[in-house]
Structure 1
Amino acid sequence: MEIRIRRAVKEDCARLLELINELAVYEKAPDEVTVTLEHFIESGFGAQPVWWAFVAEADGQVEGFALYYIRYSTWKGQRMYLEDLIVTEKMRGNGLGKMLFDQLITEAKAQQFNGIVWQVLEWNAPAINFYKKYKAQFDPEWINCSITV
């Protein structure tokens, strides 16, 4: 099996949305994905992109991706925010997640970000164990908040 990590291109967006829907099912929220393909494409490849991504291809098929954007911390400065790290169920355990995460670390260093931040569901033991291998710090102090407008 040939595995390749590369930057996402516009033509990947339909496949990325498929994987996002797969993740939503895994996270027990299949009805929560409401973004349209058009909005997703415009947000990543329009005049003012707000997200960037790397994809993991196995034998030419996109089987995973890591999507991030720039977060600004008044305490720390620019940081990479990892929105999603997804590997298809059938390809988990083949190292794609590690390759994608390592690529994010390389990118964060190249962009001179001072860190990477993300969220993980408290019940997602496989993801938590994956991040522990990187000596990630888990912060039980902060509560996530959001509103829909």
Structure 2
Amino acid sequence: MQKEKNNATSINRRENQIRKKMKDLKIVRVHKNNFKDLVLMIKKLAKYLKQEAPEPKAFQRLKKGLLARNPQCEAYIETFKGKPVGCVIFYIAYASFLGKPTLFLEDLFVLKEKRVQGFGKNLFLFCVKKAKEKKCGRIDWRVLQRDQNTINFYKKFGAKQARDWSIYRLDEKTINAISKKKS
């Protein structure tokens, strides 16, 4: 009897902690006044990925694309107690074989010191909710093959690696070169 009482007390305490944490947790759309927080997150993401941070002009283009009348993508900042802890950027593509939109998750990032505390899960579930609202048939994203922690994170939600598909890319230089050629 005492053991059951202790378990119930422990569960109630944990639920209260979660409720309190959720009260201090917000996800807000990026706007001109908090864009600097997104820039900070992207720079930290680049460091995590062992890549160079985008150049200032790339951030200017991103800001323009996000804040346009018809935005090219959506970005959100996750804050805890008023301080940024994570971000997510996504856009809507279209899956012709499904006949439905696809939410393409471009970036989901949580500060290193805030990982394994539910912030990433909260951001991912936010994306799932957005996909549902937009009547998407699926959510797609990329993960670096060497990033086993991130792969494991997504697998917890039931995500599966897309088989038989490879990612191909034309960079801007190649696009320009091809477009100059006469057909």
TM-score under structure 1 length normalisation: 0.91
Report sequence identity in percent: 28
The answer for the alignment partner of 1:97 in structure 2 is 120
Matched with 2:9 is none
SS at match of 2:33: helix
Letter in 2 for 1:17: V
- Supply the distance in 2 between the matched residues of 1:146 and 1:82 (Cα, whole angstroms): 17
Q: Per-residue deviation at 1:104?
A: 0.8
CA RMSD, aligned part only?
A: 1.5
Residue 6 of structure 1 pairs with residue 46 of structure 2: no
Q: Does 1:20 find its partner at 2:42?
A: yes
- Tell me whether 19-28 or 9-18 shows the greater mean CA deviation: 9-18
The alignment's TM-score, normalised by the length of structure 2, stands at: 0.75
Specify the alignment match of 1:118 in structure 2. Answer: 141
Question: For 2:129 and 2:110, how far apart are their aligned partners in 1?
Answer: 19
Q: Which has the higher contact order (CA 8 A, sep 6+)?
A: 1
Deviations 1:52-76 (A, max 9, x none): 1222101101110111001112112
> 1: distance between equivalents of 2:123 and 2:67?
20
Q: Residue 106 in 1 paired to residue 157 in 2?
A: no
Q: Which residue of 2 aligns with 1:136?
A: 159
Deviations 1:17-39 (A, max 9, x none): 111111111111125x2353321
Tell whether the 8 Å contact from 2:93 to 2:101 is kept in structure 1 after alignment.
Answer: yes
Once structures 1 and 2 are overlaid, which stretch shifts more, 132-141 or 116-125?
132-141
Q: Which structure has the larger Rg? A: 2
The structure with more helix, counted as a fraction of residues: 2
Three-state SS of the structure 1 residue aligned to 2:65 is: helix
Q: Report the CA distance between 1:5 and its aligned residue.
A: 2.2
Task: Look up the match of 2:80.
Answer: 58
Determine the structure 2 residue equivalent to 1:78: 101
- Maintained 8 Å contact 1:4/1:57: yes
Where does the alignment leave 5 or more consecutive residues of structure 1 unmatched?
A: none
Following superposition, the deviation at residue 113 of structure 1 comes to: 1.1
